[in-house]
């Protein structure tokens, strides 16, 4: 165990250092079971210094101690649009999640549109969500890019403000991206044909860039660069697909082009578990309480339990709503997944460590381990119970919320 | 409000009883009832939440002929000889849930030809075979106020349903004492009903149009009265005016969609002027004007959502609404607005109200007896009391716990949902065939 050289310094010098004590401490490590009477020490650098049984972790004198019945890692929302889609639902004012001028615009960056001061971001933060994977919403064939950042970031001004400024390219297969009035794509067949043509074009561009001398590089093309990142497997193509045949189409595309696929929403994923498992593709599952309508008409509340049973890596998300609620809270979705067959610790994992793993950020967030970011959520009871409250939230070792939610 | 009685024709009733009897031997192995005697069932050993009184552990619920014969702690209730005893130890029984604001069955009211259409009845539009009905039964719901959307100032007549298993809306609809279908009138203010002409463009215009409509109804009412029953002197029948007169005469409750504090006060102002009975619906900013609501004696049917917003006037929605109204003694129901919240989450919505500070007792009441009161049905449903309809749900545990499941739902003594049946479990949990092919378009939902 690492020594604690900060022991002799005062809190006035290093305000971020603190201890968090919990009756039930969910470290989200190993077998995921909580420890009884645990302590987490958060260092002045915003990282976890020590985490374990209260009987084994000595709280340095003078460190402020925050106590709660239950403590979990700060929650990780594996797919959100908060900060892009704002609370007012007011087009051209706070709805940046869609750009309808063309069906495929992977060049649209999330960092350029995110508003961390939107009340929805604050709302999530107060419920213990400390990290969100947000960006352009499902609803266009390729709607744009996504990113991952903490919920205490009000404006993205520097590289450190994000955990990953380019986390993926968001695509949508199925009725969500289909258009009427003779516009394309108007059918599923056309959707996939357009995606394939775009990927083929990007592939040629990538090859040209790789082969050409420095002075003979093709003109820069933001669209093809973004798709190139997908083809080079630097970022995944996050394909929102609910119907089983849309999921099948996404799997088919990933085989043809060799990109990293993440299935998003996946209402029918439980019907395709074998194929998804075989392809080694992770799923960012729709909210448990998503509406069973349209492409999601066959969703089941037991989906998370079924994916768990099938051994498919998955995480839970708040998703995107055109109307209300303008954001869901992953904790609530985890609670309902637990009520429908998923073990409670697995439900918590689906919005902490599993989400962090899926987003490629398990070294920094998602569990309470030495060296990781000191992101914690404190509750007055079982966090999965609707009637419990999140009472305090800590991000990078700083208390960011003390509202009882 | 006139009393509401069950007036389904006797023949239909007889068939229903016969069906229950036939189903009986296969469903729960109870006594055959070929001798024509009513079935008496005893739900034995559950924790009972009568709602009208304190919960009792080891309770006994006696159901006879579709009614609650008795409900109480063991020893205080007579168990009739020969009754079918159903072991409910370890279970929790609550009154059947009442949802005061729902759109199950895909109801529609007025069209886009104008903002005031009291003549439109949702009765004529509901698909009782839609999966949203069995889903609601799976959520423990037994009574539902099905409403048209909120895109009009007056969007039409609502209908109060019992979620009996039936093939036609008539079999589900509750009736008034005179045999007419029970229901209210849906109204709305704020931005939902503000549209391009002929709809109002402002709140001022919205209120003016509604006032004019009520004044016209008063004139109509006077003409009818002046005719003194003389057919020759009666004004031409006007379906819309007839409905508005029912509202003026207190025979039909106004269910008023309203969010912002000033819009809530506008409803109370109209009510003051015209004296109608009103239930305030959604009431996102109730916490800002809770004193005024309490002073006016208006009931509230509130929604609990996972986050505020969706439109400017719902920005300040707060989970504290239930608690703030409770503090002031306002009769408060919690509703689903299905499909905004799926009916299967109604108990969860009550739990969200608790999260916002409402007491557990009032939260359970908010989805049972309070709802019945707001619909004028408290005489027959909403609590486990002798003489009331045997509408109840059997749960696996604490009604407000996320881990509890609805195992059975009973309407008027008949089991309408059983988690053990595969087809019912499908409706409870989802899966192929449980959802809606189309996304609902109730006013603003598909925006």
ipTM entry: 0.95
Round to whole Å and give the CA distance between A286 and A150: 21
Mean pLDDT over residues A333-344, rounded? 98
What pLDDT sits at residue B9?
A: 42
Residue A311 confidence (pLDDT) above 60: yes
As to burial, measured by CB atoms within 10 angstroms (0-12 exposed, 13-18 middle, 19+ buried), residue B278 is buried
List all residues of chain B from 325 to 364 with a beta carbon under 8 Å from chain A. 339-340, 342, 345, 348, 351-352, 354-355, 360
Q: Which fold has domain A5-73+370-401?
A: Urease, subunit C; domain 1 (2.30.40)
Which residue in the set B314, B340, B435 is minimally distant from A296, CB to CB?
Answer: B435
Distance in Å from the first CA to the final CA of chain B: 37
As to burial, measured by CB atoms within 10 angstroms (0-12 exposed, 13-18 middle, 19+ buried), residue B438 is exposed
Q: Within a 10 A sphere around the Cβ of B100, how many other Cβ atoms?
A: 32
Confidence of residue B20 (pLDDT cuts 50, 70, 90): very low
Distance in Å from the first CA to the final CA of chain A: 35
Q: pTM above 0.90?
A: yes
Dump pLDDT digits (tens) for A3-26: 444 444 444 444 579 999 999 999
Q: CB distance A294–B439 less than 8 Å?
A: yes
Topology agreement, domain A5-73+370-401 and domain A75-358 = no
As to burial, measured by CB atoms within 10 angstroms (0-12 exposed, 13-18 middle, 19+ buried), residue A55 is exposed
Mutate to test the interface with B, among A84, A124, A297, A391 (most CBs of B within 10 A): A297
Mutate to test the interface with A, among B138, B149, B150, B309 (most CBs of A within 10 A): B309
Confidence of residue B442 (pLDDT cuts 50, 70, 90): low
Round to whole Å and give the CA distance between B2 and A405: 42
Q: What is the CATH number of domain B96-382?
A: 3.20.20.140
Instruction: Give the DSSP H/E element, type plus range, for residue A346.
Output: helix A344-349
Q: Quote the CATH superfamily of domain A75-358.
A: Metal-dependent hydrolases (3.20.20.140)
Two tokens, residue B367: 């989805």
Extents of the domains making up chain A = 5-73+370-401, 75-358
The H helix count followed by the E strand count for chain B is: 12, 17
**Residue percentage of chain B with pLDDT more than 90:** 89
Mean pLDDT over residues B230-259, rounded? 97
> Three-state DSSP class for B398?
coil
Residue in the block written with tokens 């359970």: B364
Mean pLDDT over residues B323-349, rounded? 98
The DSSP call for residue A8 is G
What pLDDT sits at residue B440?
A: 81
Residue A55 confidence (pLDDT) above 80: yes
Q: Which residue of B has its CA nearest to A381?
A: B355
What pLDDT sits at residue B21?
A: 38
Round to whole Å and give the CA distance between A322 and A325: 8
Extents of the domains making up chain B = 96-382
Q: Is B397 on the interface with A (CB under 8 A)?
A: no
Task: Tell me the torsion sign for CA atoms B400, A266, A84, B436.
Answer: negative
Phi, psi values for residue A242, rounded to 5°: -105, -50
Q: CB distance B434–A298 less than 8 Å?
A: yes
Round to whole Å and give the CA distance between B425 and B407: 9
Residue A83 near residue A116, CB atoms below 8 Å: yes
Cβ neighbours for A323, distance < 8 A, ≥ 6 positions apart: A89, B310, B340, B444, B445, B446, B447
What pLDDT sits at residue B439?
A: 85
Mutate to test the interface with A, among B150, B151, B306, B345 (most CBs of A within 10 A): B306
Q: CB distance A87–B307 less than 8 Å?
A: yes
What pLDDT sits at residue B370?
A: 99
Which among A345, A404, A297, A334 has a CA at the least distance from the CA of B132?
Answer: A297
């Amino acid at each position: 165990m690492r020594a604690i050289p900060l022991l002799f310094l005062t809190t006035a010098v290093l305000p971020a250092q603190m201890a968090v004590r919990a009756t039930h401490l969910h470290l989200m490590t190993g077998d995921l079971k909580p420890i009884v009477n645990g302590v987490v020490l958060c260092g002045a650098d915003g990282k976890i210094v020590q985490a374990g049984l209260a009987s084994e972790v000595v709280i340095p004198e003078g460190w402020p101690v925050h106590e709660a019945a239950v403590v979990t890692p700060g929650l990780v929302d594996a797919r959100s649009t908060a900060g892009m889609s704002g609370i007012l639902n007011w087009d051209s004012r706070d709805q940046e999640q869609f750009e309808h001028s063309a069906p495929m615009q992977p060049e649209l960056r999330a960092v350029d549109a995110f508003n961390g001061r939107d009340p929805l971001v604050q709302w999530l933060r107060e419920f213990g969500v400390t990290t969100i994977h947000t960006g352009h919403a499902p609803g266009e064939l390729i709607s744009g890019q996504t990113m991952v950042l903490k919920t205490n970031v009000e404006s993205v001004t520097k590289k450190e403000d994000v955990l990953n400024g380019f986390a993926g390219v968001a695509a949508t297969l199925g009725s969500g991206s289909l258009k009427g009035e003779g516009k394309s794509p108007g059918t599923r067949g056309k959707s996939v044909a357009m995606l394939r043509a775009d990927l083929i074009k990007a592939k040629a561009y990538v090859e040209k860039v790789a082969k050409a001398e420095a002075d003979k590089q093709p003109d820069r093309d933001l669209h093809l660069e973004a798709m190139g990142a997908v083809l080079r497997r630097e970022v995944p193509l996050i394909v929102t697909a609910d119907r089983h045949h849309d999921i099948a189409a996404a799997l088919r595309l990933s085989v043809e082009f060799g990109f990293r696929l993440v299935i998003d929403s996946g209402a029918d994923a439980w019907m395709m578990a074998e194929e998804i498992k075989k392809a080694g593709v992770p799923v960012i599952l729709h909210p448990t309480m998503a509406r069973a309508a349209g492409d999601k008409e066959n969703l089941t509340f037991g989906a998370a339990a079924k994916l768990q049973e099938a051994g498919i890596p998955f995480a839970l998300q708040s998703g995107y709503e055109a109307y209300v609620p303008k954001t869901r809270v992953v904790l609530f979705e985890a609670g309902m997944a637990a009520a429908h067959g998923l073990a409670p610790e697995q439900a918590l994992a689906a919005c902490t460590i599993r989400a962090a793993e899926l987003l490629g950020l398990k070294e920094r967030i998602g569990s309470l381990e030495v060296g990781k970011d000191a992101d914690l959520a404190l509750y007055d009871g079982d966090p999965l119970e609707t009637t419990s409250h999140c009472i305090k939230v800590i991000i990078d070792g700083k208390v960011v919320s003390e509202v009882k939610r | 409000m006139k009393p509401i009685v069950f007036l389904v024709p006797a023949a239909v009733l007889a068939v229903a009883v016969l069906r229950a009897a036939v189903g009986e031997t296969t469903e729960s192995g109870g006594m055959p009832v070929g001798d024509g005697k009513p079935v008496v069932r005893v739900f034995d050993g559950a924790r009972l939440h009568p709602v009208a009184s304190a919960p009792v552990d080891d309770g006994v619920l006696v159901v006879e002929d579709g009614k609650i014969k008795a409900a109480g702690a063991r020893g205080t209730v007579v168990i009739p000889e020969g009754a079918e005893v159903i072991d409910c130890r370890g279970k929790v029984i609550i009154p059947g849930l009442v949802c005061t604001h729902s759109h199950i069955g895909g109801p529609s009211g007025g069209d886009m030809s104008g903002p005031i259409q009291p003549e439109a009845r949702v009765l004529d539009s509901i698909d009782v075979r839609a999966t949203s009905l069995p889903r609601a039964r799976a959520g423990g719901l037994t009574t539902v106020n099905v409403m048209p959307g909120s895109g009009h100032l007056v969007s039409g007549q609502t209908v109060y349903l019992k979620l009996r298993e039936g093939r036609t809306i008539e079999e589900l609809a509750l009736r008034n004492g005179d045999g007419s279908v029970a229901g209210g009138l849906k109204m709305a203010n704020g931005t939902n009903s503000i549209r391009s002409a002929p709809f109002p463009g402002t709140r001022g215009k919205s209120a003016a149009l509604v006032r004019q409509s009520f004044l016209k109804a008063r004139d109509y009412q006077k003409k009818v009265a002046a005719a003194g029953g003389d057919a020759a002197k009666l004004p031409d029948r006007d379906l819309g005016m007839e409905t508005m007169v029912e509202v003026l005469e207190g025979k039909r409750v106004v269910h008023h969609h309203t969010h912002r504090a000033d819009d809530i006060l506008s409803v109370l102002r109209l009510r003051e002027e015209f004296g109608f009975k009103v239930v305030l619906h959604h009431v996102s900013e109730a916490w800002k004007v809770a004193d005024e609501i309490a002073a006016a004696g208006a009931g509230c049917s509130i929604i609990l959502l996972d986050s505020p917003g969706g439109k400017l006037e719902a920005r300040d929605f707060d989970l504290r609404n239930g608690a703030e109204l409770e503090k002031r003694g306002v009769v408060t129901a919690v509703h689903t607005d299905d499909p905004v919240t799926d009916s299967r989450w109604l108990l969860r919505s009550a739990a969200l109200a608790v999260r916002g500070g409402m007491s557990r007792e009032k939260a359970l009441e908010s989805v049972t007896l309070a709802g019945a009161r707001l619909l004028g049905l408290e005489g027959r449903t909403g609590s486990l009391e002798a003489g009331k309809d045997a509408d109840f749900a059997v749960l696996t545990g604490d009604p407000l716990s996320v881990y509890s499941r609805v195992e059975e739902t009973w309407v008027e003594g008949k089991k309408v949902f059983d988690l053990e049946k595969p087809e019912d479990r499908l409706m409870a949990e989802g899966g192929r065939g449980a959802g809606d092919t189309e996304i609902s378009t109730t006013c603003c939902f598909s925006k």
